[in-house]
Structure 1
Amino acid sequence: MLRIYHNARCRKSREGLQILQESGKDFETREYLKEPLSEKELSKLIGKIGIKPAKLVRKNETIWKESYKGKDLSDSEIIKAMVENPKLIERPIVETENEAVIGRPPSNIQKLL
């Protein structure tokens, strides 16, 4: 089953959602700002993408700049920051049972279809 971690206020996330809708495949939508991920869920998702946690952070967000930028943070501290501040999570993310991609550019989602 496909799942998209979605923020309806984000243009790229809406584009990713549209790609899934047009694919005709079954998928579920999780609005992660309304239903935040746990540390375990986020760690597993990062593992599926195959990146370091810092690569999933939206570094232009004010909360990042004011509270975290320039600090030497461990992977677990970065994950904790994203769990506590879901706006920091890059979007959209689409996952399958075994892998996941960041939908930036939205064409990355095609890799899972």
Structure 2
Amino acid sequence: MITIYHNSRCSKSRQGLELLKDANVDFEVVTYLENIPTEKELNEIISKLGINPIDLVRTNEAIWKEQYKGKTLSDSDIVTAMVKYPKLIERPIVINENKAIIGRPPEKILDII
């Protein structure tokens, strides 16, 4: 089953959702601002993405700039920040079994479905 971590207020996330609908594949939607991933879940997502935690952070968000920018943070600190402030999580994230992709641009989602 394909999973999309979705934020309905994000145009790229909405476009990613539409791509999945148009592809006529089964998928589930996780509205991660309401259903916040745990640290364990985020670490699993990061592992599937094959990236470092900082690469999943929206570093242009005001929360990041005000509270974290310029500080020395461990990977664990970064994951904790994303759990505390899920708005920091880059979106959309699409997972298909053991593969995951950040849908920016949304067409990248087609690579794993």
| Match in the other structure for 2:18 | 18
TM normalised by structure 1 equals 0.99
| Match in the other structure for 2:88 | 88
Count of residue pairs brought into register by the alignment: 113
Aligned CA-pair RMSD: 0.4
TM normalised by structure 2 equals 0.99
Letter in 1 for 2:49: I
Counterparts of 2:96 and 2:79 in 1: how far apart (Å)? 21
Compute the displacement of 1:61 (Å).
Answer: 0.5
* Structure 2 gap segments, 5+ residues each: none
Query: What are the superposed Cα offsets for residues 28-65 of structure 1, whole Å, 9 maximum, x if unpaired?
Result: 00000010000000000000000000000001111000
Letter in 2 for 1:65: K
Counterparts of 2:108 and 2:84 in 1: how far apart (Å)? 27
| Match in the other structure for 1:58 | 58
* Structure 1 gap segments, 5+ residues each: none
| Match in the other structure for 1:34 | 34
